[in-house]
A and B are shown apart, each in its own frame.
Chain A
């Protein structure tokens, strides 16, 4: 039961570097989400996707990009990393969207530090 798999689990970046956070799910879910969680805070939505080829901005999209070429994969790209992007990043998936009362299934997270 893999569920939602995120890689890497930890990463340290230098300011200005770029990287891609990987997320894949094997539940054939249409909906996928990227959140960031700052210490002691809740989850803030970065980007989401309602299906392959479709993405939309969440609450805090600046500094990030996403793509959704397949149902399974939803990578998050950081360009020109900044210290403010130090956070824990969670990927989640859902069978349908929030209006249909479907739960979101989360990966284990990627802990990213930018120095």
Chain B
């Protein structure tokens, strides 16, 4: 079945440093979504990418969808303590379901 791999599993940074998480699918995706889960909380939708090579920005967050639509990345510039949490990618191959990656847990030293 479809698999979505996400790396790294954990990332610890100093406040102000950048952060990137990568997502790779075993199959071509129709779209990919990104979610953030704060410690003890529930996943919250951040963004979706649909087009090959698409790049979207939300303030300090930059999301990219690969040309082959099999990989994606989330980059945070100049992290802040409010960025702490686990970031998940979730891929769709054309059905009604999303397949979630394992997530990257971001911790920040203030």
Chain A residues packing against B (C-beta within 8 Å): 31, 33, 35, 40-45, 48, 50, 58-59, 90, 92, 97-99, 101, 103-109
Contacts and interface: CB of A to CB of B under 8 A. Distances in A.
5 contacts: A42-B101, A59-B1, A98-B98, A99-B31, A108-B41
A40 B105 CA distance: 8
Given A42-B88, A101-B31, A31 B102 contact: no
A45 B98 CA distance: 8
Interface stretch (B43-51, B62-70, B75-83): B43-51
Contacts of A59: 1, 99
Nearest to A48: B97
A4 B50 CA distance: 26
A49 B53 CA distance: 32
Contact of A103 (B45, B99, B101): B45
Contact of B100 (A31, A42, A50, A109): A42
Nearest to A45: B97
Nearest to B47: A103
Given A41-B102, A42-B88, A98 B95 contact: yes
Contact of A106 (B30, B33, B43): B43
A8 to B, nearest CB: 15
B96 interface: yes
Contacts of B59: none
Nearest to A41: B102
Nearest to B102: A42
Interface string B1-14: 10000100100000
Contacts of B88: 42-43
Nearest to A58: B97
* 7 closest cross-chain pairs (CB), A and B: A97-B96, A103-B45, A98-B92, A106-B42, A42-B100, A43-B100, A42-B102
